[in-house]
Chains A and B, each alone.
Chain A
Amino acid sequence: MKFQIPNSKSQTNSKSKIPYAAEPPGFRRNSKHVFWSLDIVWNLVLGAWNFRSRKSANGFGLVEIVVSIGIISVSLFALLQTEIAAIKLLRGEKENLEAILLAEESLEAVRSLRDESWASNVASISDNTSYYPIVENGKWKLSTGTSSAINGKYQRSVLFQPVVRNASDQIASSGTLDPNTKKIVATVAWGNKNTKILTAYITNFLTSITPATETKSFFFENGVTDGNLSNFPSNNSGDGDPTQSFTTSTATTTMTRADLYIKKVGTNLSDFTLEVRTSPTGSILGTSTILAGSAISTSTLSWVSFRFPDFVTLVPNTNYTLRLRSIPSSTDAGSGSAGPIHWGYQQTASSPYAGGSARRYVGRLSNPNDSGQLLDQYDFSFRIFTLQ
């Protein structure tokens, strides 16, 4: 059965009915046909017309429709598959990029630890043991075991391997052990057997450079009593920041870091930062790196370092205030009633630390001009480090 377009009814093959004639009868040169060559052109045009109409005369049947649909479908299907393949590749590439960056960050973390101290951060690491880098108290740290999933799927680990050098001092597979070089293998694994591995060598080159050092210049370490700031000297539900002031000596110094003897209470504390101010509500001279509230110990008071990447210049014989702030400014954190920080203190009838005084509820209820409550019998423990 053939479905045909009505107008293109099958024609008989007329071509076969026109016999070939080299010199048709009645064709006379030089008679009435002056432009005989035009006849040939005409004949060509009309012949082409006849040829075309004969061609379409075969009709457009179901088979042709089915075949053309088939071709269209296959090409569309191929196009769709191409797009799907493109999506898969792009998603894979996206994961690759995320994983590579995490692996690079592992290497960067190890380099940071190397820069901090080879002896305590690299030499103490056991070889061929899986570690993973995490940020704790504003700095990198290597923990043993396996990390929790980053971005919900990436597991990363760092492996330290010993390095041996051959007679010409090149890294080789066998030779003498070089204790000042380590091979680091940073691995990121995700999904079903996807891994990215980056390898790097670190050396203890910083031993040849005398590093800048810092010393403990101003401190009060006797405040070891652990108590809720909102419960002493009397119960008070005001909210705000605790502060402790100190006085500089006769020389100009550059403050690089401050340690506070603190612990946190409660589970969901906001992040903390330490400010150096001219007075409890005065202008800010320096801000420390931000410490995650989760990184501060909940069990016992401990010395927690707040580092000031932008050093603070302290002029001689001047009183400065350390103000412990929460981020975001919270009515609960710090010295507030709910989930406060415990800052080790000492109480004596006269102020235990002559150089300064302790306060609580500074800037309470988000009022920047509120200088809080003076705790004249108390002082909090602190250590101020300066550049040597």
Chain B
Amino acid sequence: MNPALNFDWFFCRPNKAGGKTLDSKTVCLPTPDGTDCGGRNCSGGVNPFSRKNEKKRGTTILEIIVYTALFGIIAIIISNFLIQIVNAYNISRAEREVLSNGRLLLETVTKSLSEAEGIYTPTSAFNKDLGQISLVTKTNVKPEHETAYIDFWVDNGRLWMKKEGANPSALSAASVRVGKFRLERLSQGLRRDAVRLTLQVNFAQPKFSSTITLTATTALRGNY
């Protein structure tokens, strides 16, 4: 039934077609010509946004108690769920950060190592848990030079890289700590040098601990 066509309902007119009167709930406006309204007050009309006509019903104490108890239980269950979700999210974030940082750091260092021609010993520290290394490389060298230096070191839990002539840049994110950057120099014979790298990356927040230990041996193919 389309209410748009119910002009009787729109204006508070007695409905003669059905022979029934409008109920008190249906809102309507006073008729423009002031005709009768089936016993209802036409002069002021019925405010469609008022519920004054409805009867109020009180709430019993039992209802309040049951309602509060239900609400409490539900709130506890849902908040517990939410806490667990936030916890799980943080743990997965820790794992993700550690994994992606570990992979990136290892790849960056081993790529530089495999291209390197040699190691500049005076500024390298081997067999230390927080070591450092200076590499002599022939890749990305300025035209006026024959070789360039790349340095890697750990400072304040972050792994830094400095290419010659450039500013140092942190390779690891602030959300993780490099716990171990151990370099061991291996020499399998004449001009058969390799560097063994042990890298440990930990998540910075101890509450969501996550750690990864990666090992890689890279031959300095540049000097073969």
Chain A nearest CB: distance from B85 CB in Å? Answer: 5
Q: How far is the CA of A287 from the CA of B122 in the complex (A)?
A: 9
- Interface of B: prevailing SS: mixed
Q: Are A33 and B215 in contact (CB under 8 A)?
A: no
Contact of B70 among A27, A65, A271 (CB under 8 A): A65
Size of B's binding interface in residues, CB under 8 A: 84
A83 and B5 within 8 A (CB):
no
**Which among B13, B22, B82, B190 is the interface contact of A76 at CB below 8 angstroms?**
B82
Tell me, in angstroms, the Cα distance from A6 to B212 when the chains sit together.
59
Bound together, the chains give a CA A289 to CA B217 distance in angstroms of 15
| A97-B214 CB under 8 A given contacts A3-B63, A310-B118 | yes
> Which chain B residues lie closer than 8 Å to A98 at the CB level?
212-215
Write out the residue numbers on chain B whose beta carbons fall within 8 Å of the beta carbon of A21.
Answer: 5-8, 15, 17-18
Is B167 an interface position by the 8 A CB rule?
Answer: no
Give the contacting residue for B187; candidates A7, A65, A150, A289; CB below 8 A: A289
Q: Mask for B1-41, Cβ within 8 A of A = 1, else 0?
A: 11111111111010111101011011111011101000000
Report chain A residues within 8 Å CB of B85. Answer: 76, 79-80, 83
B92 touches A86 (CB 8 A): yes
Partner pick for B6 among A18, A25, A53, A214, CB 8 A cutoff: A18
**In the complex, A139 Cα to B217 Cα: how many Å?**
11
Considering only residues 179-223 of chain B, those with a C-beta below 8 Å from chain A are: 184-194, 196, 212-219
Pick the contact of B212: A11, A97, A307 (CB < 8 A): A97
Q: Least Cβ distance of B148 to chain A in Å?
A: 17
Q: Evaluate contact between A214 and B188: CB separation under 8 angstroms.
A: no
**From B195, which residue of chain A is reached at the shortest CB distance?**
A309
Rounded to whole angstroms, the CA-CA distance of A211 and B189 in the bound complex is 11
- A310 CB contacts on chain B under 8 angstroms: 118-119, 121
Q: CA–CA, A69 to B76, complex, Å? A: 12
Complex: how many Å from CA A80 to CA B91? 12
Is B186 touching A6 in the complex (CB atoms < 8 A)?
no
Given A46-B48, A101-B216, A105-B216, A20-B184 contact (CB < 8 Å): no
Judging by beta carbons under 8 Å apart, are A18 and B1 in contact?
yes
Within 8 A of B (CB), among A297-344: 307, 309-310, 327
* Chain A residues, CB < 8 A from B63: 3
Q: Count residues of chain A with CB under 8 A from any CB of chain B.
A: 82
Contacts of B118 in A (CB 8 A): 309-310
Q: A135-B196, A310-B119 are in contact. List 12 more A-B contacts (CB 8 A).
A: A18-B8, A24-B8, A87-B88, A87-B91, A93-B99, A94-B98, A94-B212, A98-B214, A109-B217, A135-B186, A139-B188, A212-B191
Can you list 24 A-B contacts with CB-CB less than 8 angstroms, sorted by A residue number?
A: A11-B25, A15-B1, A17-B20, A18-B1, A18-B6, A18-B8, A21-B15, A24-B7, A24-B15, A26-B13, A26-B31, A42-B29, A43-B5, A46-B28, A73-B78, A83-B91, A105-B196, A108-B216, A138-B184, A139-B189, A212-B190, A257-B190, A309-B119, A309-B187
Question: Interface residues, chain B, CB within 8 Å of chain A?
Answer: 1-11, 13, 15-18, 20, 22-23, 25-29, 31-33, 35, 48, 51, 54-59, 63, 66-67, 70, 74, 77-78, 81-82, 84-85, 88-89, 91-92, 95-96, 98-99, 102-103, 106, 118-119, 121, 126-127, 184-194, 196, 212-219, 224
Report the 10 A-B pairs with minimum CB-CB distance, sorted nearest first: A47-B3, A19-B18, A83-B88, A90-B95, A24-B7, A307-B187, A76-B81, A112-B188, A116-B189, A309-B193
Q: Which A residues lie at the B interface, using CB under 8 A?
A: 3, 6-7, 9, 11-12, 14-15, 17-22, 24-27, 32-33, 39-40, 42-44, 46-47, 49-51, 53, 65, 69, 72-73, 76-77, 79-80, 83-84, 86-87, 90-91, 93-94, 97-98, 101-102, 104-105, 108-109, 111-113, 115-117, 135, 138-140, 150-151, 211-214, 256-257, 271, 287, 289-290, 307, 309-310, 327, 387
